[in-house]
Structure 1
Amino acid sequence: MFERIKNYFIKAKNSVVKHERIKAPKLFMTILAKNEADIIEHQIIYHRAMGVDGFIVTDNNSSDATREIFEKYKKKGWIKEIICEISNNHDQKKWVDRMIRIASEKYNADWIINSDADEFWCCSSSSLKDELAKTTSNVIYVDIYNIYPHETNKFYENDNLIKNYERVPESIKNKLSPYSIYDKQIQKVIHRTKGYLSIENGNHNVRIKKKSSVKSDNIIIYHYSLRGLEHFKRKMINGGASVNNNEELSENAAQHWRYFYDIFINQGREYQDEYDRVIGTKYFDDMKNNGVFESAYKVKNFFTGYNND
């Protein structure tokens, strides 16, 4: 009932608050990354092909080749600015806000996507700009879905999208991690720069003047949140340490990182056992037969046979 009333008022507001369409919008993407060398080059290449005009990126103390990859695409002119953030307190909101303001004030971006390195924004058309050019809203909400990770595949070869998470049987759900990849994901936003005030942690919402929002039916996010056991271990330990260093974060922020950091570092649980509970290794076939997954070929098809000269 509450959701229906909320949607009614949003639609009523949007019918009154309308913004001028931008026929050829300048689209920028911000990326905050730490040790994402296995995926970040693919992410940049894909979104450039999908219509992103420029990238503002922040490298947070990477110890792998992430920074070198950023430099490569800065030389190509795709990345406009690289910010080297040496802090270890994962102040995401502050760092993303800084990138947004650079994209807006220095490069005159019309629209911005604030993306994590493991998110691929997929549009039913050939360009994300097609969706932006026709809207009179200034905020677009986009659904995000996890991709099931098969250990032996390259990440983009994985095409099982967890679209129907509500079909996970209760008998299986009770055996999974409380932070499994089968949880419903909170929507992300694409927003205009005009009237921008502030971004929320996780890029799930935005404060903006004369807000007029719409839920996209044509854009979804493929979320390659986990890419094997070693990636899981590195992500949870590094992430947990970072959020624990930020006393300004609310207790609700990045709870999954705090949880895994505690059970691995303080409790000494086995990584493999917990990873299997997160991705539901034993129950993959059961969930596939139950219609939990849908095939997602957008990214797979793009990179199959792709030649990056």
Structure 2
Amino acid sequence: MMLLKPFQYWKHRLTRKGPIRLAMTLLVRNEIDIIEDNIRFHAAQGVDCFAVMDNGSTDGTRECLQRLQSEFDLHVIDQPDQNYQQALWMTQLAEYARTQLKADLVISNDADEFWLAAEGTRLKDHLNANDSVVTLKRRNMVLTEDALQDGYHFSQARYAVKNPILYSSDTQINDTAVSMLLVKISPKTIVNPHGLIRLKGGNHWAKHGWRWINARDAAGITVYHYPIRSYSQFEANIINRQRLLKETNARMGDHYRRWVKLYEAGALKEEFGKFVLSQHDVETTCRIGVTELCTTIGNSLELSLNKP
């Protein structure tokens, strides 16, 4: 089967017609605070269709997706299994986008990531239907003291990581007071589902039957990452991670395992405090080039979501 993947790519390349059809896939569980904003934002950015796998949400996410189906070309796939096979499921979603949505290219997304094209352009302006794997830079948005106020919305974040803090492999960053939002994070990919073999990791890399010749980086699209938006969202995430660690053999980063231990010890709120930059922290990190004022994504979010 793997040997057929390059031929699958070339067959599609030689027979496809018309403009690029761009699909977005998401694997979600309990993302009620952000999933609707994610769909609306990317539809405004030119995404044609969505395939969303719901992994047993209990907070209203599934019902929200069902309601959005009346507005968007959005397909919901229920995945009740609780063994959390992210790479496998996202690969399956890409295949669904290929066969059912007739997609030329697929953005394998997370609910907390927003893909923004350069000013005055849309996502498809930076893509080619013949691309195999397109790799893009991802930037964390950081929390400031504004995030502690009632009514705060994640789109109000105005500072992004510019030059991440780098550590040697033997440095134990988990024991420091440095915000995990300031460290280096992996890129993301847009894939051609025709010829795709599998997505790997957290959708940061892809194995493709034609990657060796038609893979490239794209400078005109940036992925803005909002992994921690409030204490309640952070706590809910860690409670779910605790469940996964107890009930499954799910793979996850050491930082998540550490946060689960802190939650169990009643120290998670103190940990959350490390993510929030004071005004002095903001001024210092901007001065040394670690963070920078970044209003483009916030303005785009407010425009597409009609936020004041």
* The two structures share one fold, judged by TM-score above 0.5: yes
Q: What is the CA-CA distance between 1:65 and the residue it aligns to? A: 1.9
Q: 2:239 aligns with which of 234, 237, 240?
A: 237
Q: What is the CA-CA distance between 1:66 and the residue it aligns to? A: 1.0
- The secondary structure found in structure 2 opposite 1:203 is coil
Q: What is the CA-CA distance between 1:187 and the residue it aligns to? A: 0.8
> In structure 2, what is the Cα distance between the partners aligned to 1:220 and 1:303?
14
> In structure 1, what is the Cα distance between the partners aligned to 2:72 and 2:201?
29
- The secondary structure found in structure 1 opposite 2:181 is coil
- Which residue of the partner structure matches residue 186 of structure 2? 186
CA contact 1:114–1:203 (8 Å) conserved in 2: yes
Cα root mean square deviation, aligned = 2.7
Q: Does 1:287 align with 2:289?
A: no
Letter of the 2:54 counterpart: D
- The secondary structure found in structure 2 opposite 1:217 is coil
Q: Equivalences for 1:171-182 in 2 at 5 Å?
A: 175-176=176-177, 180-182=180-182
CA gap of 1:77–1:165, structure 2 versus 1, over 3 A, is closer
Q: Number of residues paired by the alignment?
A: 280
> In structure 2, what is the Cα distance between the partners aligned to 1:271 and 1:98?
34
- Which residue of the partner structure matches residue 10 of structure 1? none
Q: Does 1:68 align with 2:69?
A: no
- Which residue of the partner structure matches residue 273 of structure 2? 276
Q: 1:38 aligns with which of 26, 29, 33?
A: 33
- The secondary structure found in structure 1 opposite 2:108 is strand
> In structure 2, what is the Cα distance between the partners aligned to 1:157 and 1:87?
35
> In structure 2, what is the Cα distance between the partners aligned to 1:260 and 1:54?
35
- Which residue of the partner structure matches residue 3 of structure 2? none
- Which residue of the partner structure matches residue 156 of structure 1? 155
Q: Does 1:127 align with 2:129?
A: no
Q: What are structure 1's unaligned runs of at least 5 residues? A: 1-18
CA contact 1:175–1:277 (8 Å) conserved in 2: no
CA gap of 1:137–1:226, structure 2 versus 1, over 3 A, is same
Q: What is the CA-CA distance between 1:184 and the residue it aligns to? A: 0.4
CA gap of 1:263–1:302, structure 2 versus 1, over 3 A, is same
- The secondary structure found in structure 2 opposite 1:161 is strand
Letter of the 1:188 counterpart: K
Query: What CA deviation, in whole Å up to 9, does each residue of 1:96-145 have, x standing for no partner?
Result: 12211111011210000010000001110421101113x75311111111
Q: What is the CA-CA distance between 1:197 and the residue it aligns to? A: 0.9
Seq. identity, %: 26
Q: 1:146 aligns with which of 135, 140, 149?
A: 140
Letter of the 2:267 counterpart: E
CA gap of 1:283–1:85, structure 2 versus 1, over 3 A, is same
Query: What CA deviation, in whole Å up to 9, does each residue of 1:206-247 have, x standing for no partner?
Result: 111121321111111110100011211111221242255332
- The secondary structure found in structure 1 opposite 2:263 is helix
CA contact 2:166–2:184 (8 Å) conserved in 1: no
Query: What CA deviation, in whole Å up to 9, does each residue of 1:144-190 have, x standing for no partner?
Result: 1110124133101112011122499x9x997425x711110111110
Q: What are structure 2's unaligned runs of at least 5 residues? A: 1-12
CA contact 1:111–1:193 (8 Å) conserved in 2: yes
- The secondary structure found in structure 2 opposite 1:32 is strand
CA gap of 1:48–1:263, structure 2 versus 1, over 3 A, is same
- The secondary structure found in structure 1 opposite 2:228 is coil
Q: Equivalences for 1:79-98 in 2 at 5 Å?
A: 79=74, 81-98=75-92
- The secondary structure found in structure 1 opposite 2:137 is strand
Which of 35-44 and 299-308 deviates more?
299-308
Q: What is the CA-CA distance between 1:35 and the residue it aligns to? A: 1.2
> In structure 2, what is the Cα distance between the partners aligned to 1:84 and 1:164?
39
CA contact 1:24–1:129 (8 Å) conserved in 2: no
- The secondary structure found in structure 2 opposite 1:57 is strand
Which of 292-301 and 66-75 deviates more?
292-301
Query: What CA deviation, in whole Å up to 9, does each residue of 1:22-75 have, x standing for no partner?
Result: 872110000111111111111101100111100000111212121121111212
TM value normalised by structure 2? 0.82
Q: Equivalences for 1:246-265 in 2 at 5 Å?
A: 246-247=248-249, 249=250, 253-265=252-264
Q: What is the CA-CA distance between 1:301 and the residue it aligns to? A: 1.3
TM value normalised by structure 1? 0.82
> In structure 2, what is the Cα distance between the partners aligned to 1:39 and 1:116?
10
- Which residue of the partner structure matches residue 208 of structure 1? 208
> In structure 1, what is the Cα distance between the partners aligned to 2:174 and 2:254?
19
